[in-house]
Structure 1
Amino acid sequence: MSEKKETVLDVKNLHVNFKTYAGTVKAIRDVSFTLEKGETLAIVGESGSGKSVTTKTLMGLNAKNSEIPAGEILFKGRDLLKIDDDEWFDIRGDEISMIFQDPMTSLDPTMKIGKQIAEVITTHDYDGEVSKSEAMDKALELMKAVGIPNAEEHIDDYPHQWSGGMRQRSVIAIALAGKPEILIADEPTTALDVTIQAQILEQLKSLQNEIESSIIFITHDLGVVAGIADKVAVMYAGKIVEYGSVDEIFFNPQHPYTWGLLNSMPTTETESGSLQAIPGTPPDLLNPPKGDAFAARNKFALQIDREKQPPMFKVSDTHYAATWLLDERAPKVDVPKPILNRWKRFEEISKQNSIKAGN
């Protein structure tokens, strides 16, 4: 029996609203998930699904017009929704750190990059044991760790002197400087070409193992998830609609929205012309639908989908999906061929794992 890992973050029934001139936007609607020590949780979904709002809430960085009417975010026995600014100062960058989407807007254009990395080290050195020169030495070590070539020659460069890939590496170095227990990566490779993207993901995974941190990885690209995630939460219209291990989400998907995401992603087995976009657009969260928010875009939708939100149905001990198709009373549907192939592959993977485990 595998040893149960320590839970470092427990998000329970989180709701986040934004007050606007047009009304109240219900951006996050009853989101729950856990993060265990040393694991990577990927949160995936289209733009506007609530991924970034969720992570900014975890960091206490939402805009002033936001409100949190319900929910808990439990970290080391504390509810982060109830702490003050002084406590946040101790947590941000030290215990929980974040890599933002756009490194050019995250970095100070007037400050040398080495100094920006060193500043994190001295800021969180509460005992005052690290001098400025020692902090610069550690900054240089971090620059080398994230794969910046000829780091000694570039430690005094400014952000505008670096390429997008190098800037992204420097932002990762800044996020790792405090050796955080939780690292939140908000689409950190979106603007990079595929080769650089792969290098940075590999570097991130390697550094995670070194400092034993847990990662929440935000992306709209399921292809990125395969090589880095342990668990995946699929978000749509402010809710998690499917949640499971990376193998369960890729090879045993149960929600039609997850099917759509997978069918729009090319693989080595994709047949020519078989990629399909998800029709329509996400709903207006000023007035969320009464039933399943995906119903209007879902060709497999049932009548109940337009009347009542589905609960989270249990697929396995680690896999859940919010779709009425999993209800025992639901009619059989003609599942897309690529998804049937994935289910078949999942059966093969499960058999192989069972043999390895000696069952």
Structure 2
Amino acid sequence: MEQNALLQVKDLHVSFATYNGEVKAVRGVSFDVRKGETVAVVGESGCGKSVTSQTIMRLIPQPPGILKQGEIRFNGKDLTKLSEKEMEKIRGKEIAMIFQDPMTSLNPTMTIGRQIMEGLIKHQKMSKDKAKARALEMLRLVGIPSPESRINQYPHQFSGGMRQRAMIAIALACAPQLLIADEPTTALDVTIQAQILDLMNELKEKLNTSIILITHDLGVVAETADRVVVMYAGKVIESGTVEEIFRQPRHPYTWGLMGSMPRLDQKRTQELSPIKGTPPDLLSPPQGCPFAARCQHAMKICTQEMPETTAVGEGGSQQVACWLEHPMAPAVQPPAEVVGGGSK
């Protein structure tokens, strides 16, 4: 863990009470985010990415959500210990979030301009005139044409790409130190995706904002991230710089993710390799490695005990939780098609 990190998530456990029992959605997640960097959190649907991000914002309703243990330190403050009133002062002002679906996240009864102005009036104590001028500036910044007329329009009058830009404008209006982007390019066509990613990179450079990027799209990760956290079944199973994860992935699950991603240097006839099987049921998680049932390299120990996280590679910046890293484990090489799979 980086001592001077802007955000430190330590041993986070989050569960949900259901009629069938306790769903252990996040099970001991730890990572940090430094100032001015983009950390991508990747993994299949249901691995705990969005639950982790919403817990950082303290947006998980309790009940049914249960924050069982862990720390979320932001600028030295443990967010898990703050009251709802204290969190309201941080949300939007110091930490902002771009949600997965802008149509359900934007208020359909309020103009886009009012939704941008709302945070400025509340957190920055701006007058309406100043807040409106800032809202126009934000709409220009995110590349929305004719902001003078668009500021008075409603979300349904915007296209999908423009709604996503409006969400980014709302999130960045108060110049937060940390931006959490939950699948910010989902359901957008590739041209708009590229524009949104370029915009986020540009704003990060201008405002020195740190970004947590929640995604399952490894192409997006390669384009924007500095470091990568790979999650599976509520746990972090591998982490490292984007170059380390793409050039020399160490966990069989990461190999599977890389192998299922199309690459420009592949022959047209070459098929993608899906990860066979399904993730474990988090009502009763396995006691060993959660990926063991789907891993072709699994050993007996893999089903019995969860491996410790091991620092690997040069400088130890890459970390992996896998029994294959044990000195007594057989030497297993990643598939040729996933090594050197790309870089920024």
TM-score, length basis structure 2: 0.95
User: Shift of the alpha carbon at 1:144?
Assistant: 0.7
Provide the residue aligned with 2:338 in structure 1. 339
> Cα offset for 1:265?
0.6
Structure-1 separation of matches of 2:282 and 2:47: 10
- Displacement of 1:333 in angstroms is 2.8
Shift of 1:341: 5.0
Aligned partners of 2:191 and 2:3: how far apart in 1?
A: 33
Which secondary structure does the structure 2 equivalent of 1:109 belong to?
coil
Name the residue aligned to 1:167.
163
Q: CA deviation at 1:159?
A: 0.6
1:230 correspondence with 2:226 = yes
Preserved contact between residue 5 and residue 37 of structure 1 (Cα < 8 Å): no
1:249 aligns to what? 245
> Which residue is 2:82 aligned to?
83
SS of equivalent to 2:200: helix
1:250-278 Cα distance to aligned partner (Å, 9 max, x none) = 11100000000011111111233231111
Which SS does the other structure have where 1:337 is aligned? coil
Secondary structure, aligned partner of 1:338: coil
Aligned to 1:22: 20
Q: What SS does the corresponding residue of 1:14 show, helix, strand or coil?
A: strand
Contact kept in structure 1, 2:255 and 2:334, CA below 8 Å: no
CA contact (8 A) 2:246 2:340 kept: no
RMSD, aligned CA: 1.6
**Superposed CA offset, 1:94-132 (max 9, x none):** 00000000000111111111111111111112xx3x210
State the percentage of identical aligned residues: 54
Q: Does the CA-based 8 Å contact 1:15-1:69 persist in structure 2?
A: yes
Q: Measure the CA separation in 1 of the matches of 2:228 and 2:209.
A: 17
1:33 Cα offset (Å): 0.5
* Aligned pair partner of 2:209 in 210, 213, 224: 213
Shift of 1:340: 4.2
Matched residue, 1:288:
285
| 1:87 Cα deviation after fit | 0.6
Post-superposition Cα deviations, 1:174-196, rounded to whole Å, max 9, x if no partner, equal 00011101100000111101110
**How far apart are residue 66 of structure 1 and its match?**
1.2
Report Cα offsets for 1:13-59 as digits up to 9, x if no partner: 11111111100111111111111000000000000000000000000
Closer, same or farther in 2 for the Cα pair 1:341/1:248, shift >3 Å? closer
Q: What amino acid sits opposite 2:100 in the alignment?
A: Q
Residue of structure 2 in register with 1:353 after alignment: none
TM-score under structure 1 length normalisation? 0.91
* Residues 83 and 267 (structure 1), Cα distance of their counterparts in 2 relative to 1, 3 Å cut: same
> 2: distance between equivalents of 1:196 and 1:294?
35
User: Does the 8 Å CA contact 1:49/1:236 hold for their aligned counterparts?
Assistant: yes
CA distance in 2, matches of 1:76, 1:155: 34
Gaps of 5+ in 1: 350-359
1:52 is matched with 50
1:309 aligns with: 306
Stretch deviating more after TM superposition (53-62 or 298-307): 298-307
Match in the other structure for 1:32: 30
Find the aligned partners of 2:333 and 2:85 in 1 and give their Cα distance. Answer: 55
The unaligned stretches of length 5 or more in structure 2 are none
What is the rounded CA distance, in whole Å, between the counterparts of 2:190 and 2:228 in structure 1?
A: 21
Letter in 2 for 1:221: D
Q: How many residues align?
A: 339
Distance of aligned partners of 1:10 and 1:341 in 2 relative to their CA distance in 1, 3 Å threshold: closer
* Partner residue in 2 for 1:357: none
* Corresponding residue for residue 102 of structure 1: 101
SS of the equivalent of 1:152 reads helix
* CA distance in 2 between partners of 1:111 and 1:69 (Å): 37
Aligned to 2:65: 66
Q: Does the Cα contact within 8 Å between 1:42 and 1:219 map onto a contact in 2?
A: yes
Cα-to-partner distance string for 1:224-281 (whole Å, 9 max, x where unaligned): 1011100000000000000000000111100000000011111111233231111111
Between the aligned partners of 1:227 and 1:146, the Cα distance in structure 2 is 19
Contact persistence 1:5–1:36 (CA under 8 A)? no
Q: Could you list the runs of 4 or more consecutive aligned residues of structure 1 that deviate by over 3 angstroms after TM superposition?
A: none
Higher mean alpha-carbon deviation, 194-203 vs 6-15, is at: 6-15
Secondary structure, counterpart of 2:338 in structure 1: helix
CA distance, structure 2, for counterparts of residue 240 and residue 6 of structure 1: 21
